[in-house]
Structure 1
Amino acid sequence: MCGLCGSFGSEAHWSDGVADPARTPTADRIRRAAVANETLALYGLSVREWGGRFTLSSRTGKVAVVDTLGAVWPAAEKLTRRDCDPLDEVVLARLKSQCLE
């Protein structure tokens, strides 16, 4: 993953804005978590919105709490101890094949 995403720390992340004025910021974070879960599942992880933050969990019970969606990916790499690149060609191909099923 690009180190730039993880370098913003607790500052506002570009994805924190409300995408649809009809939805609340919490509803937007829940939707973003659902979309991220499609990719995170390939790494044995899941994320959920919790109190304005995100809780990242592994199948083995490891947990990380992060402030922004951008911080999910560095935390995922720490939990899995491997690269977690949502733009990796193999990951994108697996996601595409799931959409076609």
Structure 2
Amino acid sequence: MCGLCGAFGAPDHWSDGVRRGTPQAERRARASAANRVLGLYSLRLAAWADRYTLSGRTGRSTVVDHLGALWPAAERLAGRACDPLDPAVIAALEETA
């Protein structure tokens, strides 16, 4: 995916998808799914108002407007590359499934 989605200041992101519940419930569900990957990097995502907060184990945190901004924020907070498509990450997720 590219960063062009956020370049025009659109309030919604494609990852918001079709809502099947309240917006808050959908954000909590997306945060829960992202936490399976983020946990491997010692990070945690929480739904907060109409955004997310991303926290590290040292207590540092940042606000993330939508999932399109998640991975760059995760890399800044973790201090290393965070690749959800890394074969080692996928293997770790498959082991816990």
In the alignment of these two chains, the number of paired residues is: 94
Map Cα deviations across residues 7-41 of structure 1 (whole Å, 9 max, x no partner).
Answer: 43353211113342xx1111111000000000000
Matching of residues 42-81 of structure 1 within 5 Å: 42-81=40-79
- How large is the RMSD of aligned CA atoms in angstroms? 1.4
Residue 92 of structure 2 is aligned to residue 94 of structure 1: yes
Give the structure 1 partner of residue 5 of structure 2: 8
Is there any run of 5+ residues in structure 1 with no aligned partner, and where?
Answer: none
Return the match for 1:37 from 12, 30, 35: 35
Give the structure 2 partner of residue 17 of structure 1: 17
- Greater relative CO (CA pairs within 8 A, separation 6+): 1
Deviation beyond 4 Å, 4+ runs, structure 1: none
TM-score (norm 1): 0.85
Equivalent-residue separation in structure 2 for 1:63 and 1:87 (angstroms): 23
Give the fraction of aligned pairs with identical amino acids, expressed as a percent. Answer: 52
Is there any run of 5+ residues in structure 2 with no aligned partner, and where?
Answer: none
Equivalent-residue separation in structure 2 for 1:43 and 1:7 (angstroms): 26
Equivalent-residue separation in structure 1 for 2:75 and 2:4 (angstroms): 14
Q: Give yes or no for contact 1:39–1:91 (8 Å, CA) kept in 2.
A: yes
